[in-house]
Amino acid sequence: MFIKTPHGIIKTPVFMPVGTAATVKSLSPTDLIDLGAQIILANNYHLFLHPGSETIKQFGGIHSFMRWPKPILTDSGGFQVQSLSKDIIAMCKIDDDGVTFRSHLDGGTLHRFTPEIATASQMDIGADIIMAFDDSVSENADRKRTEIAVKRTHSWLLRCIKVWKKSISHKPHAVSLFGIIQGGTFPDLLRESAKFVVSQNLPGVAIGGAVIGRDPKQTAETISVVRDLLPKDKPLYAMGVGVRPSDLVSVIKAGADMFDCVAPTRLARTGLLYHSESKNERIDISQSKFKLDKQVLDLDCDCHTCRQGFSRGYLHHLYKSKELLYYRLASIHNLRTMIRTVETISDPVKNPGT
């Protein structure tokens, strides 16, 4: 499938590197192009707080601000307002109109997101694809809480659509809005939500909540519950998928076209590097057994780090010395491994069955 955006066409399936604060941690736009990124993510919650959506607008939008010429998708912040403010300062009050939260940056200032504010903020940021503001439920949400979340997510979607339609009214090839299916672990709620989101006839559909992304089997099962209800000609975005390369194989098989995860860069920064020959799909470069290892990180990899011949021993040295170069070389490798995994699956020569 091909997705048209104001900043070019995306070929699916596609793994989207996460650049939360208008930067994929440690990487430049040139690095991202070199490793094959077609589109990156940024986060409305983080950018709203710092440097501010209005600031980014003044720079002519996020593409100009961060010097990234290709498509950008922003997450609405529905997930972050709940997870980050809960994690850090136990302050997040949800009502039917929106969410009041404290900033995780200063822990003090109060902010409020409504569907209208979250959508307008994403329009200010200037993403190519924006996400509806949803009530994203946690993994252990019971039926009652999930029912409320689904109902709220639907009513908020209508309000997001209103703001979005108004902003793009005179622009035929403008920003796309994707609706988000919620429903937790309850098949009937998931199907009810899928039907509602699909009925809005938006450019794309996403499936979210904590049930997506953590466990590949659960993710695939959740998608399978709603798969027959989804349009064949529109992309399905599975939010937060991609802890291991094999997760991508599994989620593509389940029917998803787009997916993102912070894991590749976050794991890289803690010393965990994807490796094709490792049982666990990754090695821990901090281990002393790598100190004298002269082998290139991964001979099966075509990333800059492996192409330039950086050895496991050198990466071990950089990691142990907390040298800044480590974080870049490691992030390049993990992201390229994810993107190459997707490229291999969708290559008809390498995979004649696809």
- Does position 109 interact with a second copy (CB under 8 A)? The reply is no
Q: Which of 313, 344, 345, 346 is close enough to bind a second copy by CB under 8 A?
A: 313
- Does position 7 interact with a second copy (CB under 8 A)? The reply is no
- Does position 320 interact with a second copy (CB under 8 A)? The reply is yes
Q: Which of 160, 163, 220, 329 is close enough to bind a second copy by CB under 8 A?
A: 329
- Does position 289 interact with a second copy (CB under 8 A)? The reply is no
Q: Which of 1, 21, 91, 174 is close enough to bind a second copy by CB under 8 A?
A: 21
- Does position 50 interact with a second copy (CB under 8 A)? The reply is yes
- Kindly state the greatest CA–CA separation across the chain: 62
Catalytic: 260? yes
- Does position 266 interact with a second copy (CB under 8 A)? The reply is no
Q: Which of 23, 200, 218, 276 is close enough to bind a second copy by CB under 8 A?
A: 23
Task: Name the minimum Å distance from CB 157 to a second copy.
Answer: 31
Q: Which of 1, 6, 7, 25 is close enough to bind a second copy by CB under 8 A?
A: 25
Binding mask 60-79 for a second copy (x = CB under 8 A): x----xxx------------
- Does position 57 interact with a second copy (CB under 8 A)? The reply is no
For a second copy, the closer of residues 66 and 202 by Cβ is 66
Secondary structure of the chain as H, E, C letters: CEEEECCEEEECCEEECECCCCCCCCCCHHHHHHCCCCCEEEEHHHHHHCCCHHHHHHCCCHHHHHCCCCCEEEECCHHHHHHHHHHHHCCEEECCCCEEEECCCCCCCEEEECHHHHHHHHHHHCCCEEECCCCCCCCCCCHHHHHHHHHHHHHHHHHHHHHHHHHHCCCCCCCEEEEEECCCCCHHHHHHHHHHHHHCCCCEEEECCCCCCCCHHHHHHHHHHHHHHCCCCCCEEECCCCCCHHHHHHHHHHCCCEEECCHHHHHHHCCEEECCCCCCCEEECCCHHHCCCCCECCCCCCCHHHHCCCEHHHHHHHHHCCCHHHHHHHHHHHHHHHHHHHHHHHCCCCCCCC
- Does position 317 interact with a second copy (CB under 8 A)? The reply is yes
Task: Name the minimum Å distance from CB 227 to a second copy.
Answer: 38
The C-alpha atoms of residue 226 and residue 198 are separated, in whole angstroms, by: 11
Q: Which amino acid is at 185?
A: T
For a second copy, the closer of residues 246 and 321 by Cβ is 321
Q: Which of 8, 33, 55, 199 is close enough to bind a second copy by CB under 8 A?
A: 55
Task: Name the minimum Å distance from CB 52 to a second copy.
Answer: 9
Binding mask 134-163 for a second copy (x = CB under 8 A): ------------------------------
Which of 31, 75, 124, 298 does the annotation list as catalytic? Answer: 75
Catalytic: 75? yes
Which of 124, 128, 257, 260 does the annotation list as catalytic? Answer: 260
Active site residues: 75, 260
